[in-house]
Structure 1
Amino acid sequence: MPRMLQPGNRGSGKQATVAPPPVPVARAVVDCAVYVDGVRQPTGLDFRKALAFVRATGSGFVWLGLHQPDERQMGDVAEAFGLHTLMVEDAVHAHQRPKLELYDDTLFLVLRTVKYIDHDDDEVANDIVETGEIMVLAGRDFIITVRHGDHTHLAGVRQRLESTPEHLKLGPATVVHAVADRVVDSYVAVVQEMESDVDELEERIFAASSRDLDIDVVYLFKREVLQLRRAVYPLGTPLSLLSGNKVTAESAALTPNSKEIRRHFRDVADHLTLVNEMVGEYEERLSSLLDAAATKVSTQMNTDMRKISAWAGIAAVPTAAAGIYGMNFDVMPELHWQFSYPILLIALFTVCFTLWRTFHKYHWL
């Protein structure tokens, strides 16, 4: 009998593509815990059983921490917690701008994280600021934090909250505030680190000569400050909504019920305002440095052009004489004078020296 072809190989001669096995959600889970009255329960359950425990007892909430989940992993989480598909899509695919949205009764907050990169020399540094993302999905009895990036650890936030049960018992809104506070505190640390760099860069630009001026470093800082601004500035509106400063019919559902939590969000919003002011100041200073550097380069170019023009004017004198005496006319009586050559040299030297003294007097040479 003829041998049957395997599926996927028929007529093509290519090997069948085997789909990779699905990665379990546990690979993306950093921590999962149940909190009742602000105290972590020693359940040791996965997120499905933990959520079932909370909803069966009617008290407490689940805090699930994830790190860079893929679509399948996030899909399993969404099925268990009843998350909207748009939230799942945004949580999987990073590079979102800071925003605050409400899907049914689930709050979705996107935060951009920043980290200052230590560098010995600004001229060889490629990046000053590294960015990441944290997505917070908060419901009535659960909160999910999704991290993207290597510097977005929240272990310290969880430990600090667990050490203060009186705050943690207020519910998922407390965790939302703690995460936002941690992110904004990192903004403050970054802008304080960058302040010394901008000061040093300012001194370098004004102290360096126009020939030794390296404007690429200014453009590097300008790019990093703009990147920092894109991460920081859009967060102002979400924090205003969470703090209750902008209460409308549409935003009322986004504002936490606890007055104490709203006060804490106002404090975070104040810190963010300070960061925005410092970032705006850095932008203005760097723009001024670019203008100053461009002015110094333009001034040096004008100085060089004046020197070139002065030497060209001096060189034009002997060139004109050589052009005149290089013409093949028969009647040129000075060609037959005995002292014509030394007289011409003296005249050329006198005119060139006079031009040099004049140009030097007016600082062209």
Structure 2
Amino acid sequence: MAKSLKLVLAQPEDTPGIIASAVYAEGRRVAEVPIAEVGEWSRRPGHVVWIGLHEPGLALLRQLQAEFGLHDLAIEDALKAHQRPKLEQYGEALFVVARTAQMLDGRIAFGETHLFVGHGYVVSVRHGASTTYTPVRERCEADPGTLSGGEDYILYAILDFIVDNYMPVIEAIQSEVEEIEDCILAETSTQVHVRRLYQLRRDLLRLRNAAVPLVEVCRRLEQPGLPGIDPVMSPHFRDVSDHIRRVQEEIESLREVLAFAFETSLMAGQAQQTEITRKLAAWAAILAVPTAVAGIYGMNFEHMPELRWQYGYAVVLAIIVSVCGWLYWRFRQNRWL
């Protein structure tokens, strides 16, 4: 009894990379346990160890490998953190990779979450831009009935949280696109807006590549036969798949809006350039009249019409002003000026 009480009161090691290390029984938190004891707790009937890591080092991953018997390839993938979303089965354990996304300084920052799932344990490894999973843990602990579902429910809760966090990113981009569209319609768009539209389209393509492969991951989790995945959880993973498809639809719709906005901004820029060209051509035509007349009378010939007439200068000026005024009126009529 004393030994058991000591374990319950123990706190996890103050090791860099460890966010949480807790053991649960029937959906209720039993203890905060150090990494050196997680293997023993996971082998106890009805107990599940849930460990959260953030950018751990190789030594910590090797320690977990020794405790849970994790595969070398899974450890290697979890350390490198440059993986596509996927699900791998190593014996009686599963290794799941999911991409995370959040808005940072106006751009989509991507991260990765690696999940080790086996009998009696779940280990989440976060890399890069990723929201902490503390809210997931708190929500699960608030409902012991659902958390008692075990490691497959924890896997579902984390995947669902990752997918739900795609929507704020999409909504932020959608709001910015609407502002840029207003600028385009108001004919106040600039080259900065055009570059921003291109950046957003590229970011959305990366978000699509990060989110869509999770559909296949959830489809496999729905199928019977995977170790540690209860068939009762199939509707939950199907629900995650539906959320991903909704995210995909939103991304495709937003990319089309961005494409239209991008084309509209280019057309507006071309129209503006055409308008400027017209004005320049109109003024060039008007200025050509005095230039031509002055060029003729600037030639050094002795016998020129009206050269010695006392009213010649005034008449020429009147003709120049009249012709230029008529050209200006005609261009205004044609909306070139």
Identify the TM-score tier after normalising by the shorter chain.
0.7 to 0.9
Does 1:45 pair with 2:45? no
Question: Following TM superposition, by how much is the alpha carbon of 1:297 offset from its aligned partner in structure 2, in angstroms?
Answer: 0.8
Q: 1:343 aligns with which of 306, 315, 325?
A: 315
Rounded Cα–Cα distance in structure 1 between residues aligned with 2:194 and 2:285: 33
Q: 2:131 aligns with which of 152, 155, 158?
A: 152
Could you say which residue in structure 2 is the equivalent of 1:29? 18
Residue identity in the other structure for 1:148:
H
Contact 2:184/2:268 (8 A) holds in 1: no
Once the two structures are aligned, what percentage of the paired residues are identical? 36
Question: What's the secondary structure of 1:26's corresponding residue?
Answer: coil
Question: Following TM superposition, by how much is the alpha carbon of 1:52 offset from its aligned partner in structure 2, in angstroms?
Answer: 2.4
Does 1:111 pair with 2:98? yes
Question: Following TM superposition, by how much is the alpha carbon of 1:309 offset from its aligned partner in structure 2, in angstroms?
Answer: 0.4
Aligned alpha-carbon RMSD (Å): 2.6
Pair 210,41 (structure 1): closer, same or farther in 2 beyond 3 Å: closer
Q: 1:93 aligns with which of 80, 87, 92?
A: 80
Q: Give CA-to-partner distance per residue, 1:173-218, whole Å, 9 cap, x none.
A: 1111010011112223333344333333322321243679843443
Residue identity in the other structure for 1:345:
L
Rounded Cα–Cα distance in structure 1 between residues aligned with 2:193 and 2:283: 29
Residue identity in the other structure for 2:324:
C
Question: Following TM superposition, by how much is the alpha carbon of 1:294 offset from its aligned partner in structure 2, in angstroms?
Answer: 0.8
| TM-score, normalised with respect to structure 1 | 0.80
Pair 180,333 (structure 1): closer, same or farther in 2 beyond 3 Å: closer
Residue identity in the other structure for 2:93:
T
Q: Give CA-to-partner distance per residue, 1:6-54, whole Å, 9 cap, x none.
A: xxxxxxxxxxxxxxxxxx8832222222333333333x43233221243
Could you say which residue in structure 1 is the equivalent of 2:215? 236
Report how many residues are paired: 325
Residue identity in the other structure for 2:125:
V
Rounded Cα–Cα distance in structure 1 between residues aligned with 2:255 and 2:190: 25
Q: 2:238 aligns with which of 250, 266, 276?
A: 266
Contact 2:101/2:129 (8 A) holds in 1: no
Could you say which residue in structure 2 is the equivalent of 1:175? 154
Contact 1:25/1:76 (8 A) holds in 2: no
Q: Give CA-to-partner distance per residue, 1:58-108, whole Å, 9 cap, x none.
A: 543322221110122222222332222322222122343322222333211
Could you say which residue in structure 1 is the equivalent of 2:194? 215
Pair 157,205 (structure 1): closer, same or farther in 2 beyond 3 Å: same
Question: Following TM superposition, by how much is the alpha carbon of 1:154 offset from its aligned partner in structure 2, in angstroms?
Answer: 1.5
Question: What's the secondary structure of 1:27's corresponding residue?
Answer: coil
Could you say which residue in structure 2 is the equivalent of 1:17? none
What are the equivalent positions in structure 2 for 1:249-260 lying under 5 Å apart?
A: 253-254=225-226, 257-260=229-232
Pair 54,94 (structure 1): closer, same or farther in 2 beyond 3 Å: closer
Contact 1:205/1:213 (8 A) holds in 2: no
Contact 2:38/2:67 (8 A) holds in 1: no
Q: Give CA-to-partner distance per residue, 1:116-150, whole Å, 9 cap, x none.
A: 45xxxxxxxx4244433221111223221111246
| TM-score, normalised with respect to structure 2 | 0.86
Q: 2:48 aligns with which of 48, 61, 64?
A: 61
In structure 1, runs of 5+ residues without a counterpart are: 1-23, 118-125, 245-251
Contact 2:97/2:115 (8 A) holds in 1: yes
Of 222-231 and 212-221, deviating more is 212-221
In structure 2, runs of 5+ residues without a counterpart are: 1-12
Does 1:318 pair with 2:290? yes
Question: What's the secondary structure of 1:334's corresponding residue?
Answer: coil
Question: What's the secondary structure of 2:116's corresponding residue?
Answer: strand
Could you say which residue in structure 2 is the equivalent of 1:16? none
What are the equivalent positions in structure 2 for 1:66-145 lying under 5 Å apart?
A: 66-116=53-103, 126-145=105-124
